[in-house]
Amino acid sequence: MGESRISSWKMTELKGEFQLIESSIPELNENEVLVKVAGCGVCHTDLSFWYYGVKTKHELPLTLGHEISGTVIAGKNDWINKNVIIPAVLPCGECELCKKGKGNICQKQLMPGNDFDGGFASHIKVPSKYLCPVPDEVLQKYPLEKLAVIADAVTTPYQVIKKAELEEGDFAIVIGAGGIGIYGILISKILGANVLAIDISDAKLNIAGQNGADTTLNVKELDIKSTKSKVKEIAKELGVSPYRWKIYEMSGTKAGQELGFALLGFASTLSIVGFTMDKLEVRLSNLMAFDAKLIGTWGCKPELYPEVVDLVAKDKMKIDQFVETFPLSKINEVFNNTLEHKYSKRSVLVPDLE
C-alpha cells in the first residue's frame, strides 16, 4: 500500500500542546480498515477534552478528532480505494439499544478520538461496518477533506431535527449559529420550517440570514424577558403558530440553555445539542404545564448518514462556505484560536506531514 508510518498529533495532558508522534502502521483484524485521512474537523467536544477537563474513555496520550473523511487504503477488499465518511459514533449493532434504533447511544459504541486514536493524524484504523461511502457526484462538488463536517457538524443537527419531528410550516428557533447551528438552520429550512437564528455575533447571524434563516436576532444586550418578547413579535411577523415551537439549543452555553428553556411554550420541543459542563436551575414543572418536551441527542446513528450525503448530492445542503481548512501541523494554533472564538467557519485540519 506504500504507507509505512502514521503521523499523529496526540494530546498528552490537559491544556498542553499537541505532540507529533510517529508510529508503525497497525495490524488490522478482519473487520477493520485503514483510512488515509483527508480531513478532520475541530469540534467543541475536542475542546472539551483538551481544555475543559472532560475525560476521554481512552487514557492519554490520545489522538483526538472524530469528524473524519478519507480513503480506505487497506483492509477488507470491498472497501479498498473507496472514499468514505467515518461516523462519529460507531455502534456495535447487536445490543438492545442498537436493535431499538438507538445505535447512536450504544453502550458498546466506539468514538474516534475518545475510545481510540482519532482523526488528527495521517491515517486511522477503524471498524468498516458503518463507513459511509461518498459518491463520485458529491466529490465533483466538494473536495473530500471538506466533507469531513458531515461526520458530526451536519449529521448531529440532522438527527435531532428529525427526532424533534419538525414539520413543514413549523417555527424553528436555532440558538447558536456557529459550526453546528448553521447546519441546523439549513436543515430546518430544507424541511420547510420558518427559521429564526439567535446568536450574540452579527457576523454569524449575517451568514445565517444568507443561508436559510428567515430572520435573525442578536441577544447580546438582551435579558431573557426581553428576548422572549422579541421572539413572540417575530413569530407574529412570520405568521407562525404560537404553539408547537421547535427550539434547538446549539450554542453549548449556559445562557443558551437557559434561553431555550425559557422559550418553551404549549406543545413545544426543546432539543439540547450543544454541550456545557455548567449546571442550570430550571422549573421542570413547565414541561408539565405546557405539555412540552425536553430532549437530548448524541451524535447521529450511522443509518442516517446516507440521507445527509444525498442532500449534498442534490445541492440542497451547502458545505463549502461554512468550512475553512488548515494544515494539520497548525493544530496547536488552530485549537487556541478556536478557544478564543477567532473563526466564523468550521475548521478542518488536513494532514500535511507523512
**pLDDT for res 354:** 59
Task: Find the mean pLDDT for residues 200-226.
Answer: 95
Q: What is the 3-state secondary structure (H, E, C) of the chain?
A: CCCCEEEEEEECCCCCCCEEEEEECCCCCCCEEEEEEEEEECCHHHHHHHCCCCCCCCCCCEECCCEEEEEEEEECHHHCCCEEEECCCECCCCCHHHHCCCHHHCCCCECECCCECCCCECEEEEECCCCEECCHHHHCCCCHHHHHHHHCCCHHHHHHHHHCCCCCCCEEEEECCCCCHHHHHHHHHHCCCEEEEEECCHHHHHHHHCCCCCEEEECCCCCHHHHHHHHHHHHHHHCCCCCCCEEEECCCCHHHHHHHHHCCCCCCEEEECCCCCCCCCCCCHHHHHHCCEEEECCCCCHHHHHHHHHHHHCCCCCCHHHEEEEEHHHHHHHHHHHHCCCCCCEEEEECCCC
Q: What percent of the chain has pLDDT over 90?
A: 88
Residue 29 has pLDDT above 70, yes or no: yes
Give the C-alpha separation, 175 to 203, whole Å: 15
Does residue 165 have a pLDDT over 50?
yes
**Which pLDDT belongs to residue 217?**
98
Mean pLDDT of 246-254: 96
CA atoms 228, 232, 233, 235: torsion sign: positive
pLDDT > 70: percent of the chain: 99
87-114 residue pLDDT tens = 999 999 999 999 999 999 999 999 999 9
The x, y and z cell numbers of residue 46, run together, are 475536542
pLDDT in tens, 228-241: 999 999 999 999 99
Domains and CATH numbers, the chain: 5-151+300-350 (3.90.180.10), 155-296 (3.40.50.720)
Predicted confidence band at 244 (pLDDT cuts at 50, 70, 90)? Answer: very high
Alpha-carbon distance of 25 to 34, in angstroms, equals 9
pLDDT given at position 1: 44
Q: What is the mean pLDDT of the chain?
A: 94
Give the angle 103-86-50 at the CA atoms, nearest 5°.
90
- What Rg, from alpha-carbon coordinates, does the chain have? 20
End-to-end CA distance of the chain: 14
- At 185 the pLDDT is 96
Q: Tell which residue, 102, 97, 124, 129, has the closest CA to residue 113.
A: 124
The per-residue pLDDT for 345 is 84
Query: What is the mean predicted confidence (pLDDT) over 56-60?
Result: 96
Is the pLDDT score of 225 beyond 70?
yes
Average pLDDT of the residues in 313-339: 93
Nearest to 318 by CA among 133, 168, 176, 190: 190
Confidence label for 3 from pLDDT (cuts 50, 70 and 90):
low
Q: Give the model's pLDDT for residue 2.
A: 46
Sequence-distant (≥ 6) Cβ neighbours of residue 190 within 8 angstroms: 212, 311, 316, 317
Average of per-residue pLDDT across 14-28: 94
Residue 5: per-residue pLDDT: 87
**Residue range 290-308: mean pLDDT, rounded:** 95
Distance CA 34, CA 254 (A): 39
